Structure formats: structure tokens, C-alpha cells
């Protein structure tokens, strides 16, 4: 990889890690960002909005945003723009104190340990959310009331068959 934006070695390291997440160039959707701030999806041949990029992220679609003139990877800046828009809404994810803490880390020596901690924390949180969703899904599929109802149906069927045999004699 070449030099990362603004010469930040942390960005380059994260970009390499992000490449691992996308699984190969053939799976990556190319988005172009034009100087007029318009964003173009080369797969659908349409201009899209930042909200559309959010939907791609939520949908698990791998993509890279390239500057239309230079070909430079500007994905990170577009993602930061998306976060700013999300945080400006009524229900922000980060508190003011969180944001101040983030800014403090930018001003204090190497901030790589903080970035690694945040990555691990978010990964742990995502794993917990996945496990909770799976547990909830299993519980809904194996609903105790449904299980009891199914058991009653089987018992009634067995009772019916037993009764038929009893009364036929």
C-alpha cells in the first residue's frame, strides 16, 4: 500500500486491516466521490447519498470510495462524514465526554493502543449482540408456550388413539 492520507501510519494500518474484512478486490463495490461532493455508485451507475452508503454498511456490502480525479482512497473521510451526520441527529451514540476523550488521545503521543482497545471493544460488543440475537431467535423458535402447546397436541392425539382402541373393544 502507498502512503495513507495525511501520512498517518495508523490510517495505513487500519486500511490494511479493512482490506482483510472485504475479502478480495472482486467483491468490492467501487464508489467515486466527485469534487462537487456528489457520490457515484459504479455498480448501479447512479448518484447516491451518504445515507445510501450507510445502508450499504448495514447490509454488509463491501465498498471503497475513490476520489474521481486522483483515484485516492477517501473511504475513511466519507465514513467520518457519515458519523458526523449520524451524531448530529437527536440520538447521538457518543456523549460529549466521549468525544472530548477521543480528542485528548489525538493530542497525546501514540494513540495506537487506544485505537486497538476501541477495535477490540467494538468487536466484543458486536459478538455479544450477535449471541443475544441468536439466543433470542432460538427462544422465539423454541417458544416454551409453543412447546407446551405442541406437547398437548401430541398428548391429545395419543389420548384419542388410545380412546378409539378402548371403545372399539
49 and 84 share one domain: yes
Q: Is the pLDDT of residue 77 over 80?
A: yes
Last residue of one domain, picked from the residues 57, 73, 93:
93
Last residue of one domain, picked from the residues 52, 76, 93:
93
69 and 119 share one domain: no
Total count of domains within the chain: 2
Distance CA 88, CA 84 (A): 6
The pLDDT value recorded for residue 48 is: 95
State the number of CA atoms in the 13 A half-sphere of 126 facing the CB.
7
Burial grade of 17 (CB within 10 A; 0-12, 13-18, 19 or more): exposed
The structure's pTM equals 0.60
pLDDT in tens, 49-70: 988 999 999 999 999 999 999 9
76 and 102 share one domain: no
Mean pLDDT of the chain: 77
pLDDT in tens, 100-143: 888 888 877 777 787 888 888 888 888 788 877 776 676 667 76
Domain extent, residue 85, equals 1-93
Amino acid at each position: 500500500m502507498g502512503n495513507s492520507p495525511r501520512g498517518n501510519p495508523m490510517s495505513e494500518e487500519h486500511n490494511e486491516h479493512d482490506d482483510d474484512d472485504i475479502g478480495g478486490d472482486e467483491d468490492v463495490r467501487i464508489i467515486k466521490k466527485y469534487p462537487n461532493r456528489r457520490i457515484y455508485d459504479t455498480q448501479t451507475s447512479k448518484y447516491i447519498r451518504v445515507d445510501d452508503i450507510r445502508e450499504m454498511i448495514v447490509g454488509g456490502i463491501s465498498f471503497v470510495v475513490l476520489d474521481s480525479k486522483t483515484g485516492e482512497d477517501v473511504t475513511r473521510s466519507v465514513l467520518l462524514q457519515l458519523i458526523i451526520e449520524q451524531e448530529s441527529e437527536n440520538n447521538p451514540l457518543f456523549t460529549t465526554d466521549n468525544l472530548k476523550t477521543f480528542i485528548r488521545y489525538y493530542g497525546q503521543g501514540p494513540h495506537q493502543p487506544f485505537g486497538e482497545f476501541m477495535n477490540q471493544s467494538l468487536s466484543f460488543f458486536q459478538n455479544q449482540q450477535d449471541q443475544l440475537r441468536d439466543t433470542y431467535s432460538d427462544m422465539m423458535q423454541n417458544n416454551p408456550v409453543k412447546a407446551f402447546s405442541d406437547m398437548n397436541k401430541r398428548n391429545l392425539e395419543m389420548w384419542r388413539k388410545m380412546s378409539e382402541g378402548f371403545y372399539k373393544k
